[in-house]
Amino acid sequence: MAKLANISVGGRNPVRIMGILNTSPESFYKKSINTTRMKIRNTVIQMENDGADFIDVGGMSTAPYLSTNVSEKIESTRILNAVKIIQDSTNLPISVDTCRSSVAKNALENDVEIINDISGLKYDKKMKDVLSKFQPSVILCAYDSKTISGSAINSTKKLLLDSLKIAKKSNIFDKKIVLDPAIGFFRKTGKGKFFTKIKTDWVERDLSVIKNLNSIKMNYPILISVSNKSIIGNLLGKENPSDRLFGSITTEAICVLNGANVIRTHNVVATKDAITIASKLSK
């Protein structure tokens, strides 16, 4: 069991929902993009009403197949703008999706409580100093800057263990850590910076991980993010992310049956229904 901000996750706690708020116009799922004050406010209030436990704010798309890098200043400005609007609209804990220490520092100085680092603290060496100072809750994703090999499960566990070592050096307690096996971020090729190169089929890798979530946990809660992602499009033959809702919520329900503790999603109301049923049937 752990705590993300003041919300208990894992163990006997209900499966939690993290609503995704993208402030980056370049994001892969256009329906999730919120850039105006009114849209951000309305989206956040709707997410809370629909059952979200957290809001995860991103200021730069990290889809591996897109070239969407923006400056740290732009990323930070987008995030801080959204954070202030969210704080005026709801008391839900805020997570910031970044692997840049300056962006994380700015967010934490503005009372953000969770850092969601898709590089597992490996991209920016200064991130551990920022975490050590502010002691936030942390979501660690499986990641490596080099090409990796080996079985999907063993390599994912190894990468997460490497990130756990960095978190411990940053004085982050185990009870503040949630793990993310990074569905969609293991590829043979890509245009973005933040994915792990593998030589095997990425769809098979992701399917293997989803089927074996409990063996990846290592006594930490697991967060899963499959919402509208390429794996859903690949399996269903649906190129447009807007056509992937049913595939997304089915996959999320199966992730709950397989041990997921937090579901990060664009589709809060549909996800809430799916995981409510899945949780009842997993007993």
In contact, 65 and 191? CB cutoff 8 Å: yes
| Per-residue model confidence (pLDDT) at position 10 | 97
Kindly state the DSSP code that residue 14 receives in the 8-state scheme. Answer: P
| Per-residue model confidence (pLDDT) at position 282 | 84
Give, in degrees to the nearest 5, the angle at Cα 222 between 206 and 195: 45
Q: Per-residue pLDDT tens for 156-166?
A: 999 999 999 99
Question: Cα(268)–Cα(228) distance, rounded to whole angstroms?
Answer: 12
In contact, 94 and 54? CB cutoff 8 Å: yes
Please state at what angle helix 72-89 crosses helix 37-50, rounded to 10 degrees.
60
| Per-residue model confidence (pLDDT) at position 188 | 81
Instruction: Please list the pLDDT of the chain residue by residue as tens digits (283 residues).
Output: 899 999 999 999 999 999 999 887 766 555 666 778 999 999 999 999 999 999 999 988 766 555 556 889 999 999 999 999 999 999 999 999 999 999 999 999 999 999 999 999 999 999 999 999 999 999 999 999 898 888 999 999 999 999 999 999 999 999 999 999 999 998 887 766 777 889 899 999 999 999 999 999 999 999 999 999 999 999 999 999 999 999 999 999 999 999 999 999 999 999 999 999 999 998 6
Q: What is the pTM of this model?
A: 0.94
For domain 9-281, give the fold. TIM Barrel (3.20.20)
